[in-house]
Amino acid sequence: MKVLSVTSECVPLVKTGGLADVAGALPGALAPMGVEMATLLPGYPAVMAAVKGRVVAEWSLFGGPARVIGGQLDEAPLYVLDAPHLYDRPGSIYLDGTGKDWPDNPERFAALCKAAARIAGDGIGGWVPDVLHLHDWQAGLTPVYLRETPGTARTVMTVHNIAFQGLAPASKIEALGLPRDLFTQAGFEFWGQVSALKAGLALADRITTVSPSYAQELMTPEFGMGMEGLIRHREADVTGILNGIDLDLWGAPYKTPKGKARHKAALRAEFGLPDWPGPLCIVVSRLTEQKGLDLLLDALPALLDNGGQLALLGSGNADLEARYRDLAVAHEGVAVQIGYDEGLSHRMMAGADAILVPSRFEPCGLTQLYGLAHGTVPVVAMTGGLADTVIPLNPATRAKGVATGFQFRPVTAHALAVTLRQVVEAYGDKELWTLLQKNAMAQPVGWDASAAEYAALYESLVAT
């Protein structure tokens, strides 16, 4: 079984979010199941600096030369689309120096889709995929371009976050090489614009999302962001498969919760936090309203007034960044680092007592999985993958001794504050807290089960 994973980012080469972690982990997770997964990735400067290989195809794409370089990513095949006129530029892979989308993003990722379709039709270096696994809007136009190719590859479209829909003005239809007959409600038309995400949702053979709950949520107006009708129409083709995490990268540096003590002391020292009696909570997140970080600001007194602390690592909304900085200056129980530091994020997971994930919506979430692996008790909103991965402490789960964390609903500052007080109370019961930590660390958060589901999905497609 040969599968081409078409993605705009992939660990360890380039990352802006959880998509990169998933794309980087899947090839290794699927290999023991007889799936050879190759990855197709744009040739951004960081990728070109790291990749070593040979040219296996040459084309012209959207006004300039393009070539595909074949290499390796760990033990798996890697194909890099080297098109300097599209990808050789400084800064973010999606945004220009002012924080706005690159104006040619439609062409940049349409080129990725065209390359995927050509590989599916003609093969590359003798390698011909049976299935194309398409990740988010950046790969969404691939099924459209497949209509022009002679291949028989089937397609799986994975929605990591439906909030990003790959919109372009209708005036670009010809420039992108798209057929006018698909600019319809049943195709890639979305409120008078081209939507790359909708193209994938409408035309891929199967659709997956990154958690079972998110799959159901996407069929509602609250979460579907205008695509809910299409997803309901295709309900029989939709599957929710939870993400996993790479335990080689994210396993705890200790085997039992007792090992956390020295890491907690080191984390407090690194952030300059005093030794207080309450739980040390962390946030590692983009600072956005989607992530509920505005709600947390209003709910924090319930933690801080009861001896708890907060260490935050993240960046995003400028107003939220400023408010958290101001809070850190005003309150000795809060420490904030704006930006992202991979090493620090690992140290925070190892040393904290709890991780706060108050997202308004969360397709899957990875940070709560990192927390579980480290015995860093997750405190999460009851939505999407957060609801699917954390067993909340309540009278029933406490009686059975199976809880792994805390959930709150509705997603409001008041509900979060109530839950933070419960966290402080549970932390004061050392026997209960240790049980929560042990249960968390025992949860299966790796890729084995999820990779098996993907392998079965690919097999079912090829068999039909």
Q: What are phi and psi of 350, to 5 degrees?
A: -70, -35
**What is the C-alpha separation between 173 and 175, in angstroms, rounded?**
6
Both tokens of 233, joined, read 């129409």
Beta-ladder partners of 219: none
**What is the C-alpha separation between 124 and 119, in angstroms, rounded?**
6
The verdict on whether residue 15 carries a ligand-binding annotation is: yes
Question: DSSP characters for 315-369?
Answer: EE-HHHHHHHHHHHHH-TTEEEEES--HHHHHHHHHH-SEEEE--S--SS-SHHH
DSSP letter at 382 equals S
Residue ranges in 34-97 assigned as alpha helix (H):
45-50, 84-87
Both tokens of 1, joined, read 């079984």
Positive or negative, the CA dihedral 84, 89, 94, 98 is negative
Both tokens of 364, joined, read 């899957």
Cβ neighbourhood burial of 269 (10 Å; 0-12, 13-18, 19+): exposed
Residues in Cβ contact with 362 at an 8 Å cutoff, skipping those fewer than 6 apart: 214, 380, 381, 383, 384, 385, 386
- The annotated binding site is made up of 15
Residue ranges of the binding site for ADP-alpha-D-glucose: 15
